[in-house]
Amino acid sequence: MFCVSSSLARNTVGREGTIPANYVQKREGVKSGGKLSLMPWFHGKITREQAERLLYPPETGLFLVRESTNYPGDYTLCVSCDGKVEHYRIIYHNGKLTIDEEEYFENLMQLVEHYTKDADGLCTRLIKPKLMEGTVAAQDEFSRSGWALNRKELKLLQTIGKGEFGDVMVGDYRGTKVAVKCIKNDATAQAFIAEASVMTQLRHNNLVQLLGVIVEERGSLYIVTEYMAKGSLVDYLRSRGRTVLGGDCLLKFSLDVCEAMEYLEANNFVHRDLAARNVLVSDDNIAKVSDFGLTKEASSTQDTAKLPVKWTSPEALREKRFSTKSDVWSYGILLWEIYSFGRVPYPRIPLKEVVPRVEKGYKMDAPDGCPPVVYDLMKQCWTLDPVVRPSFRMLREKLQHIRAKELYL
């Protein structure tokens, strides 16, 4: 006989009863951020001697993986066994990993999972990982904080988007329609763990809501979010155009995004990639900011190699300085996208000329039909000195004032 932990719950009509406790586990934000690891046993570039010191005192089945010192590009599996440490070269061959050239694996997570179940030629099966100092196993942290979902309860239905990182699919989780980012590659999945941990800390009606995370031992990561039926804002604007969407609708989208950004501002988060392509539209026409892949706590720096030039502020491009005020610049570009019904910013200007012209004070013209008061807000967002740009709170108050005036006209 087995027992499932249960909790007392009340339904919408006030009747009480018990339900499994895992249905109502209290959730908290995942705070470990950069320390979360899908591969906490991976120690990177350490020497053979360092690995042996880490695996002391000897404990059969204690293991770690390091980069190979003798064969760059390969790895080494170090396993404590009967009082000494064995080192197994992991060969990278034709995009796959192998120890014995009989079993091949897509990634290190699959390889480790295989040898935890069966020694299969090693001196012992892998029993206990030696965690790299300062790391936390991602699966454990998502489970502890209440964000781990059960893979068996998720049905993947159809692909709605393909990216360089993996597929976005429509799924069903316990009868609810959901969107699922499916990331297969372990290195890429590691980057998305940071996105998921940020999303656990954020809750606002105009941010796409994380529902949970599934980490599979074989290296796959599923990030499950609410399903946004009408797709990205840029596609929504382009497909409907000015014959369908009136000024009130454009103003509502502008306010939706501004309110989400005011919330991030108040909580000291910087989005870094705000654009109409990263805003999604729900079935009931609510715009919600998504794609927190670059989101970091405020005022940090990052590599600018892959930044979207037309949406990124001059100081972020030049000095890698990101702040809420660099998000405000991007918001001005997003406003221009909304009022031009999804046009690409800086039309007819070659990409290489955009930054030099902007740094000399160039500002885009108002989109056709854009109210002067809204265009004025765009220009305030594009002030070269970030200190002078308005806050999202100020922008939201001005947009609400514009909307109130329009409603009375």
Give me the residue spans of the domains in the chain. 6-30+136-226, 36-129, 232-405
Give residue 8's pLDDT.
Answer: 41
Contact 179, 226 (CB under 8 A): yes
Options 100, 140, 172, 273, the catalytic residue? 273
Domains 6-30+136-226 and 232-405 agree in fold: no
With cut-offs at 50, 70 and 90, classify the pLDDT of residue 87.
very high
pLDDT digits (tens, 9 = 90+) for 165-196: 788 999 999 999 999 999 876 667 777 887 78
Contact 326, 311 (CB under 8 A): no
Average pLDDT over all residues of the chain: 87
Give residue 59's pLDDT.
Answer: 95
pLDDT at 221 over 80: yes
SS3 state at 104: coil
* 405 labeled binding residue: no
The CATH architecture one would assign to domain 6-30+136-226 is 2-Layer Sandwich (3.30)
Tell me, yes or no, if 118 is annotated catalytic: no
Q: Is 331 exposed, middle or buried (0-12, 13-18, 19+ CB in 10 A)?
A: buried
With cut-offs at 50, 70 and 90, classify the pLDDT of residue 228.
very high
Distances (CA, A) of 38 to 227, 331, 377: 26, 34, 43
The pair of structure tokens assigned to 63 is 């293991």
DSSP state of 118: -
pLDDT digits (tens, 9 = 90+) for 297-349: 444 444 445 779 999 999 999 988 899 999 999 999 999 999 999 999 999 99
CATH 3.20.20.70 assigned to domain 36-129? The reply is no
pLDDT cut 70: percent of the chain above it: 87
Alpha-carbon distance of 226 to 210, in angstroms, equals 7
How is domain 232-405 classified at the CATH fold level? Transferase(Phosphotransferase); domain 1 (1.10.510)
Contact 377, 335 (CB under 8 A): yes
Mean pLDDT of 33-44: 83
More confident of the two residues 22 and 159: 159
Distances (CA, A) of 64 to 14, 48, 132, 157, 242: 53, 11, 9, 37, 59
Give residue 18's pLDDT.
Answer: 38
Mean pLDDT of 42-58: 94
Give residue 156's pLDDT.
Answer: 95
DSSP state of 300: -
Count of C-beta atoms within a 10 Å radius of residue 174:
12
With cut-offs at 50, 70 and 90, classify the pLDDT of residue 35.
confident
Residue 306's nearest CA partner among 200, 164, 166 is 164
pLDDT digits (tens, 9 = 90+) for 230-272: 999 999 999 998 889 999 999 999 999 999 999 999 999 999 9
Residue type for 87, please? H
Give residue 407's pLDDT.
Answer: 63
